[in-house]
Amino acid sequence: MTRLLLAAACACALLLPAAHAQAPYSRFDDAPVAQDEDDGSRTAWHSWSRRSAAALAATGQPRDLAFAAVLHGLADAPPLDPDDDTPSRPVAPDPQAAAWRRDAAARAGDDVLANTLLAYGSDEATRLRAAQRWLGADPQNLAPLLMRGGSADVLLSDARTATRFDLGMLEQVRWMQAALLRTPPSASERAALADGGEFVAEEHAAIQAMGLWAAVAIPGLQPLMEGCGEAALRATSLRAQDCRHVARVMADHSDTQLGTMIGLALLDRTAANAAERSDAQARRRSLDWRNLEWGRASMGLPRDGAPQLTRFLADRSIRTESELVTRALQEAGIAPEPPAGWQPPR
């Protein structure tokens, strides 16, 4: 079950290497492959997540309602088949999830976590309102601007005052883990989910929370990447300046590996000279090295690193994904920088 969720999380991101950074404790040097999942495990996940969603919604709290809608919708998501070339089909509307989102939106107010959850997968009007409320509470954060969407002109203009790109990843994952643990799996569900191995509730909830977050929390990047495309950068000096500013914000002040990776790609694209381009490419090699070695190291740990992840989530001094990766590399005795001449496999 864990492997399938992580593979699904990988598939949702626009850039494959970026998706790897959002799917911890899986191999980073291979394309994500959905592992075979038996009907018992799939049924157990469906029943557990549906019960969790209902219990969360019953509290009437806006963030609980918003997360319940996420859980309810993903519970019925079809398994990922990497060998199927058939275009994906839209998932049928979920009336229950939509009702919970409406209730959450009506009660969210300035609750940043509730508004962040509402910005994931809602209808356009709800998403826009939630992203705007999130932005109002955190006006220098680029993340709600990207989640809000819109034209590149408006996005880049509004981003001139942004100082960081903070998706709130670990804060949200920790909260999701705790929310899932409020409704533990039944004995039969635990047996199916463990698939013959040891079931540790905190570990399973941590991995599920990571997978759920990655499946829904990636903002739309197309307007930004097109707005900072080569032709657009040549159009005016102001566009180049705006894109360079966003690049620096994401490369230097992101709470996720994804944000850093996108920022470095934009730094490379907006480089004014060979030195700037070389610096961006060197930083990208370092990031690739860290992610690759993190994935390899975790595969040698018990239960593919789930106990380590759970321990890291419990440590509130770890505030960003980069800090989590740094701690994992330190524990594995791996150098944070690649050897001279190292290039990532492609």
Task: Give residue-wise pLDDT tens across range 90-123.
Answer: 456 689 999 999 999 999 999 999 999 999 877 8
Report yes or no: 173 and 22 within 8 Å, Cβ to Cβ: no
Measure the CA angle with vertex 11, ends 6 and 17; round to 5°.
90
- Residue 344's nearest CA partner among 259, 282, 268, 262 is 282
Can you tell me whether residue 190 is helix, strand or coil? helix
Sequence-distant contacts of 150-155: CB under 8 A, at least 24 apart: 150/223, 151/223, 151/227, 152/223, 152/224, 152/226, 152/227, 152/228, 152/232, 153/227, 155/223, 155/224, 155/227
Task: For residue 313, give Cα distances in angstroms to 15, 47, 325.
Answer: 26, 26, 12
The number of folded domains in the chain is 1
Place of tokens 């883990």: 177
The domain of 251 spans 2-86+94-332
State the pLDDT at residue 61.
97
State the pLDDT at residue 284.
97
State the pLDDT at residue 73.
84
Q: List, in order, residues 6 or more apart from 161 with CB less than 8 Å away.
A: 139, 140
339 is a domain residue: no
Q: Is the pTM of this model over 0.95?
A: no
User: What type of residue is 307?
Assistant: P
338 is a domain residue: no
Residues 144 and 156: their CA atoms lie apart, in Å, by 13
Express as a percent the part of the chain with pLDDT over 90: 73
337 is a domain residue: no
Report yes or no: 285 and 343 within 8 Å, Cβ to Cβ: yes
Report yes or no: 321 and 309 within 8 Å, Cβ to Cβ: no
247 is a domain residue: yes
Express as a percent the part of the chain with pLDDT over 70: 84
- pLDDT of residue 258 exceeding 70, the answer is yes
20 is a domain residue: yes
State the pLDDT at residue 161.
97
340 is a domain residue: no
